[in-house]
Amino acid sequence: MDLTVKDPVMIFAIVAALILLAPIVLGRWRLPGMIGLLIAGALLGPNGIGLLERDTSFILFGTVGLLYIMFTAALEVDLAVLNKSKAHTLVFGLLTFSVPMTIGLLAARYLLGFNWMAAILLASTFASHTLLTYPIASRLGIARNPAVTTAVGGTIITDSLALLVLAVIAAMTRGEASEAFWTQMALGLAFYVAGILFLLPIIARWFFRNIARDGVSEFAFVLAVVFAISATAHWAGSEPIVGAFLAGLALNRLIPHHGTLMNRINFTGEAIFVPFFLLSVGMLLDTRIFLGGFDAWLVALTMVGVVIASKWIAAHASGRLLGYNNDQAHVIFALSVPQAAATLAATMVGFDLGLFDEKVVNGAIMMIFVTCILAPIVVQRYGRALALAEAVVVEKVDVNARQHIVVACANSQPGHRVIDLAILLRDNGHSDPVSPVRVLSNLSRNPAADQSARLELQAISSQFSAAEVPTEPHLTHAVNVGSGLISVMQRTQATDLIVGWPETGSTHELLRGSLINQLLGKVTFNLFVSRIQTPLKTLGRILLVLPPHAEHEESFYEAMHTIKRLASQIGAQVSIVTERDAAVTFATYFEDGAIFEDVKFHPVKKWGKLIPTLSKLANMEDLVMVYGVRRGGLAWSPGDIALHARIVQALPKVSVVLYYPAEPERVDETRPASLPGGYIPAIPDR
């Protein structure tokens, strides 16, 4: 009896039910949900009860899911860590290629009796791997652990070499390995890689800055680019998985890791594309093959045993050489043992060329199935141990740390760029919500204005929700905006306040007026006054303006980590602009690289020459971040407010954020509480 479901709506309903139930059922045994999808594909597929057919839709979405895994793995990797650990990546990449290649070659030649061409091609299937378990590592919060970064970086090395072996063996078997073939392959790959890594960031930055209207257009652009690059990989003699990985590396700095766009990318992949891929892999398994005799079992068991043993040896040898602990070595193994795309590609090419028979094809499918079940179990166990170890380290830093951000909203504020700033400044390790606040006058109550403000707050909250950021909106009435904001800050015990730049009113009025002075009088929270001119993700450098003696402020260390987190999120380099004598002190402070790595300095001869220096340095791809000091601090000067005003005026097209870190309560009766209206003090030469 034919049980195959033909109705596309019913097929999708079954798949949706499997995606829902797999994690729930497998979770009872503390197993990853992806194992359930693999088993479901085997049971319900054409080689099981035949309920689902592996038709073009499963092949299409399965292929997309595989490319998605490679793309998101490259997108989430910490490029700073990857760049710093290039040697680690190279060591692991070469070991995880050469060890399986050597063991596989010997096993295929002398145990299975293959000829040299077939043995080399079969060995290449052991060398390659797929980052199937990367989503688990990402959910565990260890995506930026050096061991995970090393495994991800090594993937592109071993897969590229394995696919290169495939191309060479295929060409030699067909008699096409001429001098022209080698030249064409070398030039094609060189232009392909260079075009992606150098041209794509320029095109994407231009698109995000000038064309993108909303999150939908940004998401559509990313999808179009990734799959276009993957589709053209064959022209360069490579495979789509390599193109998807390179596209992720190229877009890495332009897509903040905790932003709205990244959330959309991850959600779409994990909810639709990756489950389809897992189901399609499960459907490939045909256990009836093993009823045919000992030869089929010998080939399958040899392939499974070789890939597991060789990948384990490569992972633990790399761990020993690179100084990783046992948990990290096992995580590297779990990330590098799953087989899928390159394995299938090499196996099917070998079958078409007559180098492999059906026993090898089914052995490859068994190898894929076993490794795809084993790897999630290993990464779940050892990845959780690694995550717990990292959590203990973080907890020791500040047990009582919390973060509650308040975003001030005016009629046209905060705008999506200020919302982006709040999302990027937020530490995902904290569960506190972000509070958008609308302050209305209590002198004249207007129900229509109240309703309009509530709708504005709902719209703003939905934008935060798109990035999975919880919100706690507040509509309050007060005599003025400052008192309303301070009231909300006190009620919520907020730690940070972001004030967007007004579209009307002069810069001097903003900085010397009652609002900023009123807010600066409260020293228990961080204050950010922002004017973001271009999307934050397109900015490549943060020009951090540090006044002399800022390192003596009590909040300096914490403030630097806040800036570091922002720089890491948008993939920006940090350059420090400060007075020449102070630059020496700051260089010593940052020399260990614990806060900023490879920080550059732009010394100013005299502090009064700061603005001309910034005017020459800053451009539209920079974020000028001014470290402000409240009255009474060691680095404070009476001319600071005027200086900040003139910086903003001198850089009309540049994004600027004035950052006043929280300070302990001070009492300083020698200075006025606020600057008199109309008074702009001179900027002293320090």
Domain map of the chain by residue range? Answer: 8-396, 398-500, 533-663+676-686
Phi then psi dihedrals of residue 530, to 5 deg? -120, 140
Give the pair of three-digit tokens for residue 317.
């040898």
pLDDT at 463: 86
Q: How many angstroms separate the CA atoms of 366 and 287, rounded?
A: 9
**505 band by pLDDT with thresholds 50, 70 and 90:** low
Q: How many angstroms separate the CA atoms of 39 and 386, rounded?
A: 28
pLDDT at 75: 85
Q: Is pLDDT at 684 greater than 60 in this prediction?
A: no
What pTM was estimated for this model as a whole?
0.77
User: For residues 79-116, b (16+ Cβ closer than 10 Å) or e, as one string?
Assistant: ebbbeebeebbebbbbbbbebbbebbbebbbeebebee
| Cα–Cα distance list, 347 to 190, 306, 344, 368 (Å) | 26, 16, 5, 11
Same fold, 398-500 and 533-663+676-686: yes
Give the pair of three-digit tokens for residue 53.
């057919």
Across 391-409, average pLDDT: 65
Across 221-232, average pLDDT: 94
Cβ-proximal residues to 229 (8 Å cutoff; 6+ apart), any chain = 196, 200, 243, 244, 246, 247
pLDDT at 666: 52
Q: How many angstroms separate the CA atoms of 336 and 96, rounded?
A: 8
Give the pair of three-digit tokens for residue 168.
């060479």
Q: How many angstroms separate the CA atoms of 539 and 571, rounded?
A: 8
Q: Nearest 5 degrees, angle CA 482-CA 484-CA 488?
A: 115
Q: How many angstroms separate the CA atoms of 353 and 115, rounded?
A: 13
pLDDT at 302: 93
pLDDT at 331: 94
Whether the CB-CB separation of 62 and 300 falls below 8 Å is answered with no
What is the number of other CB atoms lying within 10 angstroms of the CB of residue 443? 9
Give the pair of three-digit tokens for residue 117.
């061409």
- DSSP, collapsed to helix, strand or coil, labels residue 205 as helix
Across 538-550, average pLDDT: 90
pLDDT at 674: 39
Across 342-363, average pLDDT: 80
Q: How many angstroms separate the CA atoms of 596 and 561, rounded?
A: 9
Q: Is pLDDT at 413 greater than 50 in this prediction?
A: no
- DSSP, collapsed to helix, strand or coil, labels residue 146 as helix
Across 403-431, average pLDDT: 80
Helices and strands (H and E) in the chain: how many: 27, 10
Q: Nearest 5 degrees, angle CA 628-CA 633-CA 637?
A: 65
CATH of domain 398-500: 3.40.50.620
Whether the CB-CB separation of 134 and 156 falls below 8 Å is answered with no
pLDDT at 188: 87
Residue 395 or 598, more confident: 598
What is the third-level CATH fold of 533-663+676-686?
A: Rossmann fold (3.40.50)
User: Residue 460, CB half-sphere, CA atoms under 13 Å: how many?
Assistant: 32
| Distance, C-alpha 79 to centroid of its chain | 10
Query: If we measure between CA atoms, which residue out of 421, 453, 420, 295 comes closest to residue 359?
Result: 295
**324 band by pLDDT with thresholds 50, 70 and 90:** very high
| Cα–Cα distance list, 506 to 128, 317, 372, 501, 682 (Å) | 61, 63, 61, 10, 18
Q: What is the mean pLDDT of the chain?
A: 83
Query: If we measure between CA atoms, which residue out of 421, 626, 608 comes closest to residue 544?
Result: 626
**CATH number, domain 8-396, options 3.40.50.300, 3.60.15.10, 1.20.1530.20, 3.30.420.40:** 1.20.1530.20
pLDDT at 497: 93
Residue 17 or 606, more confident: 17
